[in-house]
Chain A
């Protein structure tokens, strides 16, 4: 028996999707809870279940009853484009306000005021933007509508996804009386996340949970200790897989490395990360969708909102640090095909990267207090640059920290300036500790996943507190079919020489920082490094030598010489090096001397250090780093007039090189080519 309401809802759905459409499990229940019972609702359903059908149909029915605009807060801009299209099929007028459509804001605002907008999609960042709120408030106030919070697991401290902007969203929710309709949706919420959302949204919250099984996936896990062997494994197995897929990497550098390696092996691949232009990213997504690429090597930036129903495989080049993140990423495969391969390549060394993410992802108490104290004393708007000059911590972390302090209400932001708010604030170390422990528990769960002998799908569903779990019958543990961990030795050899020959660039700095302002006129040339510090082989050797005060091996110096010859075949300048005051520190001069001999170039000791400074690695941001090395060096005797190969052991902040380059170029030397043994990962 169907009710009038069910018929009405179904009619709306059919108008959009087709005359024989039916609601999927739980969809009608959710719509009824919102529209008829006026409940606050949390829907936990796997990706592809059709949550948008719920808020579209609910919005249509609510609007027909005179309700105001539905506001959808979602971090997924890509999704917004698709949704606006889908909404129009339901005769819903959907709009988005984001940084790319500023010229339309005024018209949208007018339409909102006129009640012509049915759905407004915004990102959480936009929702918190002061100017946006000023504009939005009028239209929002006239009549109440549904508020949809997408990816609602971000509300919870326990979520694997820490999105500061959701914390302000929670504070808005706390100020909404219980009668305001709220729909939270997520595909990944374990019991603790659900409890947390429950707590934030009030006891009356109704929860609808679906089954999280993904029947098409066949999960495997292979332990491979080294980067070289993993690359070889990819080259061996990917050509045997049908269709195209994603290779997830933990770092941006690895996406480039994997994509280049696959291309060298005639496997069409592209690298994708948050650092690339939006247009480039969109182009890569489209090429993957059209199967023009076999592989996209991507960081987690290729994530929520990317939908390719026939994605045939997902391989992890390193293990992600949480089963929830892992479930989300593998869940992109096999949505509309019967079978998809999912392989986790892992080793204990992946945990160094987890640790790095953990330490850099959480605010440090003394950093936070230092910044707040400084702003409190200023009691006025202060630019980022002044903060960098006055606070010794990495710029990258200052920006992240200010964002956290902003949403916590310790600091407010206006046109890229910051000010201490008038709210009392203390560092919430208990909360940070709680988040850290939750992360460590996720690390352990990921270790357990890699080594479990039980069903892998059951393991993941269990980690997400799914119910009715049974064995999948498809994973390596269920079937006993396992991938070889050893790849073809000739491929391993090729991968090794690929890694060693691969140019690692050192980008010249273009702008001064801190006490010196403006662009740098005496620019260095783009430079090269032999290896990343984290690379096995050269990287290990360099770190050992630095630690023990020893010298570098002949093999390494020969590799460096080969690289320079490859890089600049006809180079006929001189070799100079970054000087030290301590005569016991011979690594750099010794390396430069041996390299010069192999290259048959003159070695110059024209650069001298005038006084001992603090080790550069203790300086935490550009302003401090530049101040630490500026004026510390000089040129002895006559400056060279030829091109210079400038040698150092490690390229990190690049300020030492930049200051030396400025000195040399000012006296007429040049061009200057920096070359270092190691580079810290960027």
Chain B
């Protein structure tokens, strides 16, 4: 059940309903919350907000206007909830703790999804890679997924064509659980009868930081990568181009910002990109028999590195 804090977070950041002013970004919201619990600002005027937080009038006005969306958001949330799409927020209880711990202010405020939310906190194995993949690469993705299932871990992936789908389908077929982190079209993804049966049977959890009707965009596809790294005990990059493409960008970002542990497949069928990733700091995985060991070693999740905050708590907008 969403409480007053959740509802305030949604009013300020959600893009479920149109808005005359721009909703707060994750960074803006987390920064605001360091000064004040946002739900306390509801019902106050822009002038009061400006003087309480010592921020410019136009920023205060923006917050006040965003709170006006409460009715529309309530209707939109109930509509989603009615079809089985849940909503959780970064200030609520169901939100996976490690996501906030690892992603810091990049952690999405709102997650929508279907299936069992507790799957998000079950420490899965991330499997990522290019959309266009060799037959051998596909085989590796499947084997990694099956090993994860045998270890009792869910597979976390992006549900895109190529590595993502191969890994998720392989895990699903052997009775395992999968967490799909979607960059777009959650609403459309849940129309497939097979997916619905998987969700109903507790095998599939789909989650997205974007609105459930969001169309595909490159920016969103990039933005959701960090969530895969953030949710997984280890993320294995099966295949990546070097210095280009979403997989490369996502993996190097995760390494640099410590979003999660990253391993790169360097065995048979791997490409130059995979080796280059090792040079960037990814753990090398050249033999699938080492995977068990890798997963065992990593059951304590790392926390990301704090980004330096100034002496003063400044709002980022």
**A137/B43 contact (C-beta < 8 A), A409-B81, A421-B82 known:** no
Interface size on A, residues (CB 8 A): 36
Is there an interface contact between A137 and B68, defined as CB atoms closer than 8 Å? no
Closest chain-A Cβ to B27's Cβ sits at a distance in Å of 23
**A133/B68 contact (C-beta < 8 A), A177-B4, A420-B200 known:** no
Interface mask (B259-297 → A, CB under 8 Å = 1, otherwise 0): 000000000000000000000000000000000000000
Is there an interface contact between A177 and B83, defined as CB atoms closer than 8 Å? no
A180 to B42, CA, bound (A): 10
**Which B residues touch A380, using CB under 8 A?**
193, 196
Chain A 168-186 residues near chain B, CB threshold 8 A = 168, 171-180
Is there an interface contact between B19 and A141, defined as CB atoms closer than 8 Å? yes
Closest chain-A Cβ to B37's Cβ sits at a distance in Å of 13
Query: Taking the complex as formed, is A144 at the interface, i.e. its CB lies under 8 A from any CB of chain B?
Result: yes
Is there an interface contact between A130 and B79, defined as CB atoms closer than 8 Å? yes
**A144/B84 contact (C-beta < 8 A), A38-B43, A177-B42, A422-B200 known:** no
- The stretch of B53-61, B69-77, B101-109, B306-314 that contacts the partner chain: B69-77
A423 to B124, CA, bound (A): 23
**A177/B39 contact (C-beta < 8 A), A143-B68, A422-B85 known:** yes
Is there an interface contact between B71 and A412, defined as CB atoms closer than 8 Å? no
Query: Taking the complex as formed, is A359 at the interface, i.e. its CB lies under 8 A from any CB of chain B?
Result: no
**Which B residues touch A422, using CB under 8 A?**
83-85, 114-115, 190, 196, 199-200
A447 to B8, CA, bound (A): 51
A168 to B83, CA, bound (A): 12
A421 to B77, CA, bound (A): 15
Return the contact of B75 from the options A68, A140, A378, A421 (Cβ within 8 A). Answer: A140
Return the contact of B84 from the options A177, A180, A421 (Cβ within 8 A). Answer: A421
Chain A 389-406 residues near chain B, CB threshold 8 A = none
Interface mask (B143-185 → A, CB under 8 Å = 1, otherwise 0): 0000000000000000000000000000000000000000000
Residue of B nearest to A381 (CB): B191
Return the contact of B71 from the options A140, A168, A379 (Cβ within 8 A). Answer: A140
**Which A residues touch B196, using CB under 8 A?**
379-380, 420, 422
Query: Taking the complex as formed, is B300 at the interface, i.e. its CB lies under 8 A from any CB of chain A?
Result: no
A423 to B114, CA, bound (A): 8
Return the contact of A179 from the options B2, B43, B79 (Cβ within 8 A). Answer: B43
Residue of A nearest to B19 (CB): A141
Residue of B nearest to A177 (CB): B7
Query: Taking the complex as formed, is A147 at the interface, i.e. its CB lies under 8 A from any CB of chain B?
Result: yes
Query: Taking the complex as formed, is B188 at the interface, i.e. its CB lies under 8 A from any CB of chain A?
Result: no
**Which B residues touch A138, using CB under 8 A?**
17-18, 72
Query: Taking the complex as formed, is A116 at the interface, i.e. its CB lies under 8 A from any CB of chain B?
Result: no
Residue of B nearest to A141 (CB): B72
Residue of A nearest to B1 (CB): A174
Is there an interface contact between B74 and A172, defined as CB atoms closer than 8 Å? yes
A138 to B17, CA, bound (A): 6
Chain A 121-180 residues near chain B, CB threshold 8 A = 130, 133, 136-138, 140-145, 147, 168, 171-180
**Which A residues touch B71, using CB under 8 A?**
68, 71, 140-141, 144-145, 147, 176, 180
Return the contact of B17 from the options A130, A141, A409 (Cβ within 8 A). Answer: A141
**Which A residues touch B69, using CB under 8 A?**
141-142, 144
**Which A residues touch B81, using CB under 8 A?**
171, 175, 409, 423
**A175/B78 contact (C-beta < 8 A), A140-B71, A142-B68, A420-B200 known:** yes
Interface mask (A332-373 → B, CB under 8 Å = 1, otherwise 0): 000000000000000000000000000000000000000000
Query: Taking the complex as formed, is B33 at the interface, i.e. its CB lies under 8 A from any CB of chain A?
Result: no
Is the interface on chain B under 10, 10 to 19, 20 to 34, or 35 or more residues? 35 or more
**Which A residues touch B82, using CB under 8 A?**
168, 171, 409, 412, 421, 423
A180 to B2, CA, bound (A): 16
Is there an interface contact between A142 and B20, defined as CB atoms closer than 8 Å? yes
**Which B residues touch A133, using CB under 8 A?**
75-76, 79
Closest chain-B Cβ to A507's Cβ sits at a distance in Å of 38
Interface mask (A58-85 → B, CB under 8 Å = 1, otherwise 0): 0000000000100100000000000000
Is there an interface contact between A180 and B193, defined as CB atoms closer than 8 Å? no
Closest chain-B Cβ to A640's Cβ sits at a distance in Å of 52
Residue of B nearest to A147 (CB): B71
Is there an interface contact between A171 and B78, defined as CB atoms closer than 8 Å? yes
Query: Taking the complex as formed, is B127 at the interface, i.e. its CB lies under 8 A from any CB of chain A?
Result: no
**A172/B78 contact (C-beta < 8 A), A177-B7, A177-B42, A379-B193 known:** yes
Is there an interface contact between A141 and B18, defined as CB atoms closer than 8 Å? yes
Query: Taking the complex as formed, is B11 at the interface, i.e. its CB lies under 8 A from any CB of chain A?
Result: yes
Is there an interface contact between A175 and B200, defined as CB atoms closer than 8 Å? no
Return the contact of A175 from the options B2, B83, B84 (Cβ within 8 A). Answer: B2
A38 to B45, CA, bound (A): 14
Interface mask (A407-440 → B, CB under 8 Å = 1, otherwise 0): 0010010000000111100000000000000000
A379 to B192, CA, bound (A): 8
Is there an interface contact between A140 and B39, defined as CB atoms closer than 8 Å? no
Closest chain-A Cβ to B270's Cβ sits at a distance in Å of 38
Query: Taking the complex as formed, is B197 at the interface, i.e. its CB lies under 8 A from any CB of chain A?
Result: yes
**Which A residues touch B190, using CB under 8 A?**
422
Return the contact of A423 from the options B7, B70, B79, B84 (Cβ within 8 A). Answer: B84
Closest chain-B Cβ to A134's Cβ sits at a distance in Å of 9
Closest chain-B Cβ to A65's Cβ sits at a distance in Å of 12
A172 to B18, CA, bound (A): 18
Return the contact of B70 from the options A130, A177, A420 (Cβ within 8 A). Answer: A177
Closest chain-B Cβ to A133's Cβ sits at a distance in Å of 6
Residue of B nearest to A423 (CB): B84
Query: Taking the complex as formed, is A376 at the interface, i.e. its CB lies under 8 A from any CB of chain B?
Result: yes
Is there an interface contact between B75 and A136, defined as CB atoms closer than 8 Å? yes
**Which A residues touch B79, using CB under 8 A?**
130, 133
Is there an interface contact between B83 and A137, defined as CB atoms closer than 8 Å? no
**Which B residues touch A378, using CB under 8 A?**
193
Closest chain-B Cβ to A113's Cβ sits at a distance in Å of 9
Closest chain-A Cβ to B84's Cβ sits at a distance in Å of 3
Is there an interface contact between A175 and B199, defined as CB atoms closer than 8 Å? no
A180 to B69, CA, bound (A): 10
Chain B 113-155 residues near chain A, CB threshold 8 A = 114-115
Is there an interface contact between B17 and A179, defined as CB atoms closer than 8 Å? no
**Which A residues touch B70, using CB under 8 A?**
144, 176-177, 179-180
A136 to B72, CA, bound (A): 8
Closest chain-B Cβ to A525's Cβ sits at a distance in Å of 46
Return the contact of B76 from the options A68, A137, A142, A171 (Cβ within 8 A). Answer: A137
Residue of B nearest to A378 (CB): B193
Closest chain-B Cβ to A563's Cβ sits at a distance in Å of 53
**Which A residues touch B114, using CB under 8 A?**
422
**A379/B197 contact (C-beta < 8 A), A137-B76, A141-B18, A168-B78 known:** yes
A174 to B71, CA, bound (A): 11
**Which B residues touch A379, using CB under 8 A?**
193-194, 196-197, 200
**Which B residues touch A140, using CB under 8 A?**
17, 71-72, 75
Closest chain-A Cβ to B64's Cβ sits at a distance in Å of 11
Query: 14 more A-B contacts (CB under 8 A) besides A68-B68, A136-B75, A137-B72?
Result: A68-B71, A71-B71, A137-B76, A140-B75, A142-B68, A171-B81, A171-B82, A175-B74, A175-B78, A177-B7, A177-B8, A379-B196, A420-B196, A422-B114
The 7 closest A-B pairs by CB, nearest first: A422-B84, A141-B72, A379-B193, A141-B17, A175-B74, A140-B72, A379-B196
Q: List 16 A-B contacts (CB under 8 A).
A: A136-B75, A138-B72, A141-B19, A142-B20, A143-B68, A147-B71, A168-B78, A171-B78, A175-B78, A177-B8, A177-B70, A421-B84, A422-B85, A422-B196, A423-B81, A423-B82
Name B residues whose Cβ lies closer than 8 Å to a Cβ of A: 1-2, 4, 7-8, 11, 17-20, 39, 42-43, 67-79, 81-85, 114-115, 190, 193-194, 196-197, 199-200
Name A residues whose Cβ lies closer than 8 Å to a Cβ of B: 38, 68, 71, 130, 133, 136-138, 140-145, 147, 168, 171-180, 376, 378-380, 409, 412, 420-423
